[in-house]
Amino acid sequence: MGSPGGAHEPLRRYVSAWIGFSAGGHFSQALTVAVVVYAFSAHAVRALIGWPGSLGVLVSLVALAACSLFGQRHHIEWHGILPVSLIALFGWWGVSVLWSDYTWATIGGVAYAAAFGALGLYLALGRDLVQVVRASGDALRILLVTSLALEVLSGLLIDQPIRFLGIAGDLALGGPIQGIAGTRNYLGFLAALGLVTFVVEYLTRSVAKGLGLASCTLAALCVLFSRSPVTAAAVLALVVAGLALRSLRKAPPARRPVIQGVLAGLVSLGGVVAWLSRERIFPAVDATGDVDVRIALWGRLRQLIEVNSLQGWGFVGQWPTEVFPFSTLLTPTGRPSATGLGALFDTWFQVGLVGVLLLVAAGGLAFVRAWATASSHPIVAYVWPAVVLVLIGVVSIAESYALFEGTLMFVVATATIAARKRSWRSRLEARPGADRR
């Protein structure tokens, strides 16, 4: 008679072979592209196959990412790699279920955010930075080409909107276009993110020159036709950040602190001048309507925030518009708003002042680490996390993308990548070993 474990031997071999395959380079890179494509096109996926289908895709990607990380477990340094600030932020989101009036919506929102956070960890731990940039570039090319193709179909060929995707079909009028992103601001954000990624790809010679130039042209066209005031401000910030990093990377190490201080002063001065000139700037970039919508929504949010200012109403991420009090927060068209149109106000509303402080701490610490690394690291790819965080930070003033899906995933990924180089815990752990004789 065979041993009892003999019947399970084929299963063990199959599982072992699958885990080994999932840890391989080709599979991991393909999975990374799929993760980024899905994370930034979840709106279109839901429009096509609904929430159940979209959640099925998400669960499958998380499971595959877990298998891939498990297969690479011996090559990953786990201890001290996760930023404490991010752990605290996600922990506070989870704790908010205790006082939420919409318990099941909070449980679902936390689980949904945790799934994208897990995918962000996979990007940071399962691939090196150049591979993440390359996979993100491939994914964003797919998204932008698809968006522009659908806009050409809708606006030029059939001259009809594609309503279930949110495409108005205004390409022939010069925009605004929405693509598979659903709104002009989100498409503009994706195009700006693509522009950053394509430039870094080009500088690291990860793609051919022709493909790099064509990709940058594609992203620029999407930025132009989106006609998004938020994206216009973000692109300006990206240009300033790029020039600043270029001067810092070329400067001698001894002069970098002085240059950092001068740059911080100039940015602060520019922000003050922009604020004082807002009455001229907003009409110039066609932002008056967007600003009025946000001011009206934030005024209503302030009334609700005063009820639970410290701990908030309970985390949900994207708003469940059928649940009170989200059902009472309407757009000018009379439909419930899907977000708070600003990460800080949205966070304050959902998880209170404590949540705002944790979000600012997590984002600020990630940015400082990423910026310091980008200023001094010889590999150009390390510019990417810092500039991506600049983009997310500027857009978060007027949109809540940082609280859910692809943008949240990139926040987790870039924060973890930055912590690898600048974690205070790794320095503390290195001291005892260095002092031993």
Least confident interval from 77-91, 156-170, 172-186, 190-204? 77-91
How confident is the prediction for the chain on average, in pLDDT? 84
SS3 63: helix
At residue 61, the pLDDT reads 94
Q: DSSP for 271-304?
A: HHHHHHTHHHHHHHTT-HHHHHHHHHHHHHHHHH
Check pLDDT > 90 for residue 187. Answer: yes
Q: What is the mean pLDDT of residues 122-140?
A: 90
Res. 434 pLDDT band, cuts 50 70 90: very low
Q: What is the mean pLDDT of residues 159-173?
A: 87
Check pLDDT > 70 for residue 437. Answer: no
Q: What is the 3-state secondary structure (H, E, C) of 102-163?
A: CHHHHHHHHHHHHHHHHHHHHHHHHCCHHHHHHHHHHHHHHHHHHHHHHHHHHHHHCCCCEH
Residue 174 phi/psi, 5° resolution? 90, 10
Dist. CA 133–CA 139, nearest whole Å: 10
At residue 1, the pLDDT reads 44
Cβ contact 411:392 at 8 Å: yes
At residue 351, the pLDDT reads 92
Q: What is the mean pLDDT of residues 163-172?
A: 86
> CA distances (Å), 104 to each of 108, 156, 222, in order?
6, 44, 38
Of the candidates 298, 379, 311, 270, the residue with the CA atom closest to the CA atom of residue 97:
311
Res. 142 pLDDT band, cuts 50 70 90: very high
Q: What is the mean pLDDT of residues 85-107?
A: 92
Across-strand partners of 336? 330
Res. 427 pLDDT band, cuts 50 70 90: low
Q: What is the pLDDT of residues 207-219, one digit of tens each?
A: 888 998 999 999 9
Q: What is the pLDDT of residues 112-126, one digit of tens each?
A: 999 999 999 999 888
Least confident interval from 71-85, 96-110, 209-223, 352-366? 71-85
Of the candidates 248, 264, 267, 265, the residue with the CA atom closest to the CA atom of residue 256:
248
SS3 336: strand
Token pair of 118 as six digits: 């897990």
Least confident interval from 28-37, 63-72, 213-222? 63-72
SS3 368: helix
Q: What is the pLDDT of residues 350-368, one digit of tens each?
A: 999 999 999 999 999 999 9
At residue 56, the pLDDT reads 94
| Identity of the residue numbered 184 | R
Q: What is the pLDDT of residues 272-322, one digit of tens each?
A: 776 666 566 665 555 667 777 888 888 888 888 888 888 889 999 898 888
Dist. CA 231–CA 181, nearest whole Å: 14
Q: How many CA atoms lie within 13 A of 5 on its CB side?
A: 2
Token pair of 7 as six digits: 């019947």
262 or 74, higher pLDDT: 262
